[in-house]
Amino acid sequence: MGVNTPKEITDIWINNGVNKANLKIGKMLVLGIMAGAFIGFGSFVFVLATSGITDAYQAVIGKLIGASLFPVGLMMVILCGAELFTGNNLMTLALMDKKITAAQMLKNWGVVYIGNLIGSVLVAALFAKSGLLIDAFAERAVAIATAKSNMPFDAAIIRGVLCNMLVVLACWMQAGAKELIGKIFAIWFPIMLFVFAGFEHSIANMTYIPMGIFLGAEVGWGAFIINNLLPVTIGNLIGGALIVPGAYYYAYKK
């Protein structure tokens, strides 16, 4: 059979959680940096696709194209092998099954989050200095960074919840596929959906907002962290570490 059942996927992700918890810190950090860079590439092409828009119809088309391109980031994370904080929120499955400790899980999340931040900011700086983000492209990057940093705190949390429900479902679904093409499509649609809908992904924002800052956005690093990264991360944890894994653990392992 070409797919794993939901119960088999649950077991796969419990085992993934054990493996992730037992990675050495150096490997967590390096793979976290790689994942931050990979998601950064997706953020970069979204900026390019949605730049220079002059009317509402073009805005929808541009956003759809950008949303269709963005999933390459998570594809590279999963298929090339990297550690992404938002996907690793599924480690709560292994915690619920008593295969890992809370300390192991939090260590992974902390190290990977720092790695994701390093990788994301590094590629944001490279994108800003590449000479590719000029005129309408630079204006779009600045506009995205400004809008994200001025979002209401509660709205950022809610958009973070909705986003990471879809991100971990993409991770979940790809584990059900046994062929490469199946994994690609399983990742593509949920990620395209969250980007097109305008939900908030903490790691993607680690590229979006610094990139805008490097290009002259009137956004401070404190505003980036307090106004966006903090509430979005909280929302991502609720959606990706509690809601989805909690429901599936209850349904298939409890």
> For 115-138, what is each residue's pLDDT tens digit?
999 999 999 999 999 999 999 999
Q: Name the residue among 104, 97, 98 with its Cα closest to residue 248.
A: 97
| Contact status, residue 219 vs residue 153, Cβ threshold 8 Å | no
Q: Is the pLDDT of residue 240 over 80?
A: yes
Q: Is the pLDDT of residue 195 over 80?
A: yes
Q: Name the residue among 253, 79, 105 with its Cα closest to residue 170.
A: 79
Residue 104, amino acid: Q
Kindly compute the dihedral angle of the four CA atoms of residues 170, 109, 213, 167, in this order, to the nearest 10 degrees.
10
State residue 213's pLDDT score: 98
Q: Is the pLDDT of residue 1 over 80?
A: no
Domain limits, the chain: 6-252
Quote the CA–CA distance of 3 and 173 in Å, as a whole number: 9
Give the model's confidence band at 254: pLDDT under 50 very low, under 70 low, under 90 confident, else very high. confident
Which region among 19-23, 29-33, 53-57, 128-132 has the lowest average model confidence (pLDDT)?
53-57
Provide the H-helix boundaries in the chain. Answer: 6-21, 25-49, 56-69, 72-76, 85-88, 92-96, 102-129, 136-149, 153-176, 180-197, 202-214, 221-223, 230-237, 244-252
CATH architecture group of domain 6-252: Up-down Bundle (1.20)
What's the pLDDT tens digit per position in 43-60? Answer: 999 999 999 888 888 889
Instruction: Centre a 10 Å sphere on the Cβ of residue 19 and count the other Cβ atoms it contains.
Output: 11
Global confidence as pTM: 0.95
Quote the CA–CA distance of 94 and 110 in Å, as a whole number: 17
Q: Is the pLDDT of residue 107 over 90?
A: yes
